[in-house]
Chain A
Amino acid sequence: MQAHLRVRRFDPEEPAPQPRYQDYTVEAEDYFTVLDALIKIREEEDGTLAVRCSCRSSVCGSCAMRINGHATLACKTKLTDASKGRDVVLVEPMGNMPVVKDLVTDLQSFWDKVWAVEPFLQPQGPVPEQEYLASNESMVHLTGVMNCIMCGACVSDCTVLAVDPNFLAPAALAKAYRFVADPRDGASKERLRALSQYGGIWDCTRCLECVQVCPKDVAPMDRIMTLRDKAMQAGYTSTYGARHTIAFSELLKESGRLDELRLPVMTFGIFNLPRMLSLVPVGLRALVRGKMPPIFHRAIPGVEHIRRSFRSAEAKR
């Protein structure tokens, strides 16, 4: 079959480097992945096309890029799937990081953030002579996160990182989870404290993007949510994020629905004047548009059911 690819090119050595798009037509076999097509272009047509790749089997993490607008591995994306319903397959470098050349991006900030979570086991106590004894379940579930190949796809498409470069971002946080959840690690509490800081677990907006693009089913956002849970259990409840979560559940337990007047007060604290004042314009706008929450908040009928659900969920912890 013939496939058409539109590749974003960037040559840093041009006098005034500008990204541009270049179209290629490839004579492709049915089994081709997008990477096969790019390699064919590079080998037969245009040796100047820069792309990282090695394993061809989704384990080395080299070939993450945006295909039709979403980050993924080129070696895991079948060309037939990528061309379905389109005239041309759009191939671009990952987002949220500088481009070095063509499809090659600079991953320095990616690695810096992974390093920032101290990505190594910090065992407690003396090292046993044999292996650490641990149940298979407590270990095997971690292979889900160990599946991460550090490709960067999740970071490329993270919506928070796009507006806040300080965010540790999904890959580093998933890596952090791997240690927090490891029964052999002795630094979990310290890790959770650090992760609760600005730029950490509370800054994710749960947009699901990282879960959708991750080619290895690592589900970073789910890991971040578990970290939040663990952080609160470990007593790190004074961050806005944690307080917001706690207030949210307390209010629900009370009345079965959110009391939007008390939520910010409980999250930020009534004596946090700057934060309280910063909310005044929001309140005024709500008032003007008739969206002011009721001053007298009433419980919904059947709130008992909700309380019961909370109790049983908490008992299961």
Chain B
Amino acid sequence: MPLTADEQVLRHDVIVLGGGLAGMRAALEAARGGADVAVVSKVYPTRSHSAAAQGGINAAFSAEDSWEKHAFDTVKGSDYLGDQDAIEVLCREALQDIMELEHMGVIFNRNEDGRLALRPFGGAGFPRTCYVADITGQAILHVVWEQLVKARITCYAEWVATSLVVQDGRCRGLVALEMRSGKLHTLEAKAVVLATGGLGRIYEPSTNGLICTGDGMALAYRAGAALMDMEFTQFHPTTLYPSGVLITEGARGEGGYLLNSKGERFMATYASQRLELASRDVVSRAEQTEIEEGRGVNGCVLLDVRHLGKKVILTRLYQIYELAHDLAGVDLLEEPVPVRPGTHYQMGGVKTDVDGRTSMPGLYAAGECACVSVHGANRLGGNSLLETVVFGRRAGKAAAEEVRQVPFAGLSSAPGRDEHAHITELLQRGERGGLRSAVVRKEMGNAMREGAGVFRDSEGLAQTLETVRGLKGRYQKVAVQDKGGIFNTDLVSLLELGNMLDLAETMVVGGLARQESRGAHFRRDFPERDDINWLRHTLAFYTAEGPRLEYAPVTCVRWQPERRTY
């Protein structure tokens, strides 16, 4: 008997989908607010991709800095697409949240005087990034997990959510597959908080872990919630060849150089002031231009940290020293490492307000899967860990408050049984030797890189859209070789692929429509930013024929758009 459906319905006031930083932070806050909370996560929480964040987390607290300056840098970094009310919340509350992390136990690096140390990061006017060597994400993630243990919050780990349950327009819970047992469970909640992280695996290569498949965004989209600004995907300038594994921006923050094949620090031509520390979109485009114009080294440029000296490299950049060694066979003390732009972060996501409310009642979202929007068209390094804790906390709080007034609907286990029928059908599809999901995924990844990558144009985007739609057709024929119920990763890959294809479509459709260049979305055929027509958010809604787009205004309260130079 392979898959089964649980007849029992599990009930919690608040269910947080995702055990990364945003999810656990939301769960803690909801529990503090008196709600009975459970976390559902497809991996054990400490394995979430937040662990991979190396560089740091921003807060403006040095004497010469202020939250306003942080907010301005963020607005400018966002190429004016970020909502300034949300950015204000992010930057004002940063210090409080970071202090709370410190009190929970995070071992931040310190200064001589015993206070938290700051390092410079791209796109920031001052050093304002707190860090824990180069394991910042891991260090914070583990400490927040410790607090989850302390608060004895229920955690359903290695449960993969497959759909949201919506009744009368309100989100009432979700269905999840327990990997260990092969059981499909119906979980009822008065509110669901999505915190499922990014979708980097849509592209090939990506800095994201293999689990970053945008599940929560896709679940929300199919359930009817609005996605926002999906065409804005960040390409990180320094990823290892060929794996796409990230070299932290900290490497440039500490003073690393980017060199072309002639040994020139080419950033001088593209960003004469900030050089290597210009905003990520600017550096990625510079690299791509160098590579395309023949000044690359095997499709890469070189990152050189040798001049920083052994001590800095082996203490503050130790993790990347190891990664370069393990994955590229390069000794950073001796030679530069080849790097190229790779997909890194999704600015767009499920549209929310500053308290995590999505367009669907009962459904909240926070972290990378959400779009508040604080990153607009381009995110600054160190701002997204910050986003996870600030908006995770706010979403958790709002959800706990709301559920005091909401009764349970008394769901039956029908959603789980329906999903069971649907998945059983998937399992029967195709036989050994049939089309593999990885084949479809790779084609999608390559098409997205080529047509919806660092540089875009209408022809390439249209071509990519056609490819993605074609792949959606072929997806129907993908075979699942593993017919079992227990730990069926073959099945999970298929479900993830389905999610990614839906999202890829929204990204390309949004990008095709947006006839301007802004932040990470650079159209060769429309190389200028167009504030008259395009200073607005793209909303995408699910329809059976593909995404339907709408537009929403950007909140500009303090700063009017200016030209963006670094």
Size category of the binding interface on chain B: 35 or more
Chain B contacts of A121 at CB under 8 A? 104-105, 143, 146
Contact B43 A62, beta carbon cutoff 8 Å? yes
Chain B contacts of A55 at CB under 8 A? 47, 49, 51-52, 209-210
A47-B133 contact, Cβ under 8 Å, with A60-B49, A120-B150, A135-B110: no
Name B61's closest neighbour in chain A (CB-CB): A130
Contact B139 A44, beta carbon cutoff 8 Å? no
Residue of A13, A127, A139, A146 touching B138 (CB-CB under 8 A): A146
Q: Report the bound CA distance from A31 to B242 in whole Å.
A: 8
Interface positions, chain A 36-84, Cβ under 8 Å from B, are: 39, 42-44, 46-48, 50-62, 76, 78
Residue of B135, B143, B486 touching A101 (CB-CB under 8 A): B486
Chain A contacts of B113 at CB under 8 A? 133
B139, B329, B480, B489: most-surrounded residue (chain A CB, <10 A):
B489
Name A127's closest neighbour in chain B (CB-CB): B103
Contact B135 A150, beta carbon cutoff 8 Å? no
Q: Is A149 an interface residue (CB 8 A)?
A: yes
Interface positions, chain B 84-115, Cβ under 8 Å from A, are: 99, 102-105, 107-115
Contact B105 A120, beta carbon cutoff 8 Å? yes
Interface positions, chain A 102-121, Cβ under 8 Å from B, are: 102, 104, 106-107, 111, 115, 119-121
1/0 per residue, CB under 8 A from B, across A134-152: the answer is 1110011011001101100
Q: Is B446 an interface residue (CB 8 A)?
A: no
Contact A140 B133, beta carbon cutoff 8 Å? yes
Chain B contacts of A60 at CB under 8 A? 43, 46-49, 51-52, 209
B47, B114, B482, B488: most-surrounded residue (chain A CB, <10 A):
B47
Q: Is B180 an interface residue (CB 8 A)?
A: yes
Q: Is A132 an interface residue (CB 8 A)?
A: yes
A48-B490 contact, Cβ under 8 Å, with A130-B99, A140-B133: yes
A44-B438 contact, Cβ under 8 Å, with A31-B328, A58-B326: yes
Q: Is B498 an interface residue (CB 8 A)?
A: no
Q: Is A182 an interface residue (CB 8 A)?
A: yes
Q: Is A19 an interface residue (CB 8 A)?
A: no
Chain B contacts of A58 at CB under 8 A? 322-323, 326
Chain A contacts of B513 at CB under 8 A? none
Q: Least Cβ distance of B63 to chain A in Å?
A: 14
A104-B487 contact, Cβ under 8 Å, with A60-B51, A149-B138: yes
A29, A55, A150: most-surrounded residue (chain B CB, <10 A):
A55
Q: Is A270 an interface residue (CB 8 A)?
A: no
Name A185's closest neighbour in chain B (CB-CB): B105
Contact B146 A120, beta carbon cutoff 8 Å? yes
Chain A contacts of B242 at CB under 8 A? 29, 31
Contact B149 A51, beta carbon cutoff 8 Å? no
Q: Is B436 an interface residue (CB 8 A)?
A: yes
Total residue contacts A-B, CB cutoff 8 A: 170
Q: Least Cβ distance of A207 to chain B in Å?
A: 26
A136-B109 contact, Cβ under 8 Å, with A61-B47, A107-B44, A149-B46: yes
Contact A48 B105, beta carbon cutoff 8 Å? no
Q: Is B283 an interface residue (CB 8 A)?
A: no
A143-B481 contact, Cβ under 8 Å, with A60-B49, A119-B149, A135-B114: no
Contact A150 B46, beta carbon cutoff 8 Å? yes
Name A40's closest neighbour in chain B (CB-CB): B438
Q: Least Cβ distance of B561 to chain A in Å?
A: 36
Q: Report the bound CA distance from A244 to B147 in whole Å.
A: 37
Name A80's closest neighbour in chain B (CB-CB): B329
Chain B contacts of A293 at CB under 8 A? none
Q: Is B245 an interface residue (CB 8 A)?
A: yes
Chain B contacts of A61 at CB under 8 A? 46-47, 51
Contact A47 B436, beta carbon cutoff 8 Å? yes
Q: Report the bound CA distance from A121 to B101 in whole Å.
A: 11
Q: Is B117 an interface residue (CB 8 A)?
A: yes
Q: Is B30 an interface residue (CB 8 A)?
A: no
Contact B243 A47, beta carbon cutoff 8 Å? no
Q: Least Cβ distance of B251 to chain A in Å?
A: 14
Contact B105 A182, beta carbon cutoff 8 Å? yes
Please report the total number of A residues contacting B with Cβ < 8 Å.
61
Chain A contacts of B243 at CB under 8 A? 31, 56-57
Contact B245 A56, beta carbon cutoff 8 Å? yes
Q: Is A250 an interface residue (CB 8 A)?
A: no
Residue of B51, B147, B486 touching A59 (CB-CB under 8 A): B51
Q: Is A188 an interface residue (CB 8 A)?
A: no
Residue of A31, A100, A130 touching B115 (CB-CB under 8 A): A130
Chain A contacts of B112 at CB under 8 A? 136
Q: Is B34 an interface residue (CB 8 A)?
A: no
Q: Is A269 an interface residue (CB 8 A)?
A: no
Interface positions, chain B 130-176, Cβ under 8 Å from A, are: 132-133, 135, 137-139, 142-143, 146-147, 149-150
Contact A50 B487, beta carbon cutoff 8 Å? yes
1/0 per residue, CB under 8 A from A, across B461-494: the answer is 0000000000000000000111011111110010
Name A129's closest neighbour in chain B (CB-CB): B99
Q: Least Cβ distance of A38 to chain B in Å?
A: 11
Contact A143 B47, beta carbon cutoff 8 Å? no
Contact A43 B146, beta carbon cutoff 8 Å? no
Chain B contacts of A120 at CB under 8 A? 104-105, 146-147, 149-150
Q: Is B2 an interface residue (CB 8 A)?
A: yes
Q: Report the bound CA distance from A127 to B102 in whole Å.
A: 10
Q: Is B308 an interface residue (CB 8 A)?
A: no
Interface residues of chain B, those whose CB is within 8 Å of chain A, are 2, 43-44, 46-49, 51-52, 99, 102-105, 107-117, 132-133, 135, 137-139, 142-143, 146-147, 149-150, 180, 209-211, 242-243, 245-246, 319, 322-323, 326-329, 436, 438, 480-482, 484-490, 493
What would 4 more interface pairs be, CB under 8 Å, given A54-B47, A131-B116, A132-B103? Answer: A31-B328, A47-B481, A61-B46, A131-B103
Can you name 24 A-B pairs with beta carbons within 8 Å? A13-B485, A33-B327, A43-B438, A52-B43, A54-B211, A56-B243, A56-B327, A60-B49, A60-B52, A107-B44, A120-B104, A120-B105, A120-B149, A127-B103, A129-B99, A131-B103, A132-B102, A135-B114, A139-B107, A139-B109, A140-B133, A146-B135, A146-B138, A179-B105
